[in-house]
Amino acid sequence: MHTSIASNRAEQLSLRTTDLNPYPTKPRVTFRADGTFKLTVFSDLHYGENPWDAWGPQQDVNSTVLMKLVLASEQPDYVVLNGDLITGENTFRENSTHLIDEIVAPLNAVKIPFSSTHGNHDNEPNITHYEEIIREQEVAPLSYTRLAPPGVGGYGGPGNYWVPVYEKASDSAPILVLWFFDSRGGFSPGANSTAMPDWVDASVATWIKSETAAMTAAWGPASARGALAFVHIPPHVIQPLQAGLNSTRDPGLNADLLGQGSTQATTDPANNGKDDDFWATLNAEVENLHAVISGHDHGNEWCIREPTKDVIFCFDKHSGYGGYSSAGWGHGVRNIVFSSPDPKQGLQTWIRLEDGTTRAQVTLDGRYMRR
């Protein structure tokens, strides 16, 4: 197994240095013929809670029902699983990765391409980000999740990668790049477990620079393509913005106070600034970055413009029946729709609940919070 994993990573690196196509054996992800592209984001599924009683497995059943219902109704072009797929502190070591099989089964059934990020609960004594990624690659033919090159991501953060999206499959260059970043967190594996850093490692900043330079060399100016980024734990610079939310301009549930308890551990004063290299480089090097999308805070759904880098940030919607919740929060997804492949055009995004109702619709474009 270790030999195949090593050869897989070597193959990925070799392919990256030739034609910059990390997925030569998979179908190209494309816009629809009408020029649109729809993503549905499932966040904080939290499979594997309380496997020793009846309550825990029933939550997994409920989450699977939600996934099947939403996929059938929304029919997205691409799906993102934005972290905390598994509640790793509750699972058993011998079968933790098999929860990935349950999570991806609805996606496999409808043959939809997808990517995952991983969260603090995916790094625990009984599971790691690395193990989840490898299992997903083994059991999901249309998973586009992959490992970062060696040395990128820091300890416990191997899930940094990007996925090209083309206007047409025959195009020589993508029109959109989806970026996925590993914010780590949780605890190291094994009996002598210790807390892990819960921010995107500084090594990722250097990698972003090298990747964007390679993209420009292979595909031409970055101004010709758009970008969208996903990470599980929100950067700490978002915390002070919560006080200035406007429920009309920035609609959506706002029930989690950032920085309290486990809802955003990166705001611990001792950790502030640790993700600055990542945040600054992402916004400096990735042009036409439409938004940065996070999960982690189950009670938040809002979007806001982060003024220091002039980029829009959005929370997801808590999808899973596992993980903390409260009466009235509900479960659902964030939908994101590109109405055109033009990288200068804005996006439509909204929260869709399990029962089909929608809320918090906003247009993410240059006029958002500037009207």
Segment 258-297, tens digit of pLDDT: 876 544 445 556 666 677 899 999 999 999 999 999 999 9
Instruction: Walk me through the domains of the chain, giving residue ranges and CATH numbers.
Output: 22-364 (3.60.21.10)
User: Nearest Cα to 156, choosing from 111, 113, 214, 195?
Assistant: 195
Q: Nearest 5°: phi and psi at 336?
A: -135, 125
User: Nearest Cα to 12, choosing from 4, 3, 23, 2?
Assistant: 23
Question: How much is the average pLDDT of 229-249?
Answer: 93
CB 47 within 8 A of CB 85: yes
Question: How much is the average pLDDT of 329-358?
Answer: 97
CB 315 within 8 A of CB 297: yes
CB 235 within 8 A of CB 276: no
The tokens 């502030």 sit on which residue?
Answer: 272
Question: How much is the average pLDDT of 79-106?
Answer: 94
Q: What does pTM read for this prediction?
A: 0.93
In the chain, the amino acid numbered 264 is Q
State yes or no: pLDDT of 3 exceeds 50: no
Per-residue confidence (pLDDT) for residue 358, from 0 to 100: 98
DSSP character for 160?
-
Please give the Cα distance from 282 to 78 (Å, whole number): 22
Tokens of 344: 């200068």
Question: How much is the average pLDDT of 138-142?
Answer: 98
State yes or no: pLDDT of 16 exceeds 90: no
Per-residue confidence (pLDDT) for residue 95, from 0 to 100: 79
